[in-house]
Structure 1
């Protein structure tokens, strides 16, 4: 066993569980109901932000009981690190959303650099209206654009380094079945 893998396992052993699987699943169901009430008649394109938004988007889509087109985009600032850098597009959207409502589904609204850039991209590409859904909205005063608020939020979160339900620690533990905070971070 490599030292790095042991470190990754230790992160989980020592982590604090902030939200259990049941709490997260309940929050996803509530977000789905809220989106369904607000967007059922808009024929939206729903974009999952990869990789972090994958689990949230997959679970959320089953709660959206109306016609929609689903696709993905992949933009990142982290590249398996614990701090972000410049925005890097790995895959831009391939579905046209000119004069359409767009729903961007992501794992977390932290500082907002990535989500803000994606919103701007969609608006400049002709979206009629851009909506955002995040599983976690982290509470702190470091928002890049303080006016940026997600339209649909699953759960609030304290200002710690978290992982699980799509969010990772150095590329690992996206598969954790709760929301966990790294000890000391």
Structure 2
């Protein structure tokens, strides 16, 4: 599939979640975060590359609700362009000191949770007082790492290989404005 253009890939895929549904989910997540962090400025860590579209839209929704954030990012991956995960590899750690701070991790998908588990643990080791997770997409299956969940979940999707809205197939198709699954 990765030799297709974005238009061809979308035409050959199943639409799982359309843009209006994603926009509504991001609004609900922003409402919950703004309530939980009222009067505080959390460290807002975007997990690259996949969370970039979701994180940007969520940040604007939070700003519209009067919630300020201290932006930073990290790049930790288990996939490195592959379709199956391996060991967690750090490509960039946040520059912002996390000691004594509340941290909000923003990611595109919570699948099994190994990456988020490793990142959350690292944040706590850096002295973060609280680490919460906002995930746009939650995969429905029973393979999640125990104790890893999204505090601010977006939409649930089937246990299929998904792409779009930041999620990729071999580093492509992240810009699709909805969530799709490759046909079986």
Q: TM-score range by the shorter chain?
A: over 0.9
Q: Quote how far apart the aligned CAs of 1:45 are.
A: 0.4
Q: Quote how far apart the aligned CAs of 1:128 are.
A: 0.7
Aligned to 1:26, what secondary structure does the other structure show? helix
- Name the stretch that deviates more: 146-155 or 5-14: 5-14
**Residue 32 in structure 1 maps to residue 30 in structure 2:** yes
State the match for 1:124 in structure 2: 125
* Structure 1 unaligned spans of 5+: none
State the match for 1:23 in structure 2: 21
State the match for 1:61 in structure 2: 59
Contact 1:11 1:183 (C-alpha < 8 Å) held by counterparts? no
State the match for 1:169 in structure 2: 169
Aligned residues: 181
State the match for 1:102 in structure 2: 103
**Residue 160 in structure 1 maps to residue 166 in structure 2:** no
Contact 2:54 2:108 (C-alpha < 8 Å) held by counterparts? yes
TM-score normalised according to structure 2 size:
0.94
Distance 2:10 2:83 in 1: 16
State the match for 1:12 in structure 2: 10
TM-score normalised according to structure 1 size:
0.93
Following TM superposition, the consecutive aligned residue runs of length 4 or more in structure 1 with deviations greater than 3 angstroms are 6-11
* Structure 2 unaligned spans of 5+: none
* Superposed CA RMSD: 1.5
Q: Quote how far apart the aligned CAs of 1:7 are.
A: 7.4
- Name the stretch that deviates more: 110-119 or 39-48: 39-48
